[in-house]
Amino acid sequence: MLDDFFTRALIAGIGAALVAGPLGCFIVWRRMAYFGDTLSHAALLGVALSLLLQINTTLAVGGVSVLIAVLLMLLRRSNTLSSDALLGLLSHSALALGLVCLAFMTWVRIDLQGLLFGDILSVTVVDIIMVYAGGAGVLAVLAIIWRPLFAATVSSDLAAAEGLSPNRAEVIFMVLNAVVIAIALKIVGALLITALLIIPAAAARRVAASPEHMAVMAALIGAVAVVGGLYSSYYYDTPSGPSIVVAAMGIFILSLLPGLSALKWAGSRIKGGRS
């Protein structure tokens, strides 16, 4: 019989993985891993503001992440610095500012390790509701903008030629990233959120026969990593967040096996034959 806290952790972790997987596919396709890292580092600043202003942590983290995403877009349009330089500037500045703000709040007891690496075993029913409600909203919006966002990922000119709005889709995509980071912060922490977004998607890319198949596979791989990581953490007394990431990395290593590449080829051939 599993303890209640462990059951809640499983439910919350699976919910976060199911959302992070499809969104992570676009991060992999668009080569935006550093962007996800920037938003996850900015989450710490959101936590500091939530404690200072006494507001909901998830809302504060989401708000700061959206602000950083918008600021990044505005700076990119100014053409003063390259994208990677801007990401590095915003990422480390937000992380450092968050840590400094937390250090000044001596009247608040802060579990810094939990913020950085997650504390999934302490999730509450309210946290689970926020994960699934926010996750459902993210997936619904992602399904709506899937076509213009994917077209813009392949080619901005192609998206514009089809009468789509790649710029609007990109803004919405950045906001969705901010929401996912906000709801996943307590599960894997600020430093490991990007891993939950990228590693399952990277593993799914090795075996998926289509973009849609890759999104589904990434969600499932993330869920399996959560279950495997939590059980290994439970039995071997290891940190939960890092254990989930290690489990995801193990699945990625398995995806490198030559037999799985053959499976991907067979799946693409079957799909081609049906069409």
**167 belongs to a structural domain:** no
Across 16-20, 86-90, 148-152, the highest mean pLDDT is recorded for 16-20
Kindly state the tokens that stand for 251: 């699945």
Structural domains in the chain (count): 1
Q: Which SS3 state, helix, strand or coil, does residue 257 take? A: coil
Q: Give CA–CA dist 273/270, Å, rounded.
A: 5
State pLDDT tens for residues 19-40.
999 999 999 998 887 787 888 8
What mean pLDDT, rounded, does the chain reach? 84
Q: What is the value of pTM for the model shown?
A: 0.85
Domain housing 75: 4-129+174-266
- Mean per-residue pLDDT, 213-226: 94
Query: Between 35 and 215, whose confidence is greater?
Result: 215
Q: What is the CB-side half-sphere exposure of residue 47 using CA atoms within 13 A?
A: 33
Q: Give CA–CA dist 12/187, Å, rounded.
A: 8
Cβ neighbours around 70 below 10 Å, total: 14
Do 105 and 48 touch, CB atoms closer than 8 A?
yes
pLDDT at 204: 92
**160 belongs to a structural domain:** no
- Mean per-residue pLDDT, 192-196: 87
**144 belongs to a structural domain:** no
Q: Given pLDDT bands bounded at 50, 70 and 90, which one contains residue 262? A: low
**104 belongs to a structural domain:** yes
Task: Give the residue among 254, 205, 259, 256 at the shortest CA–CA distance from 225.
Answer: 254
**207 belongs to a structural domain:** yes
**142 belongs to a structural domain:** no
pLDDT at 169: 80
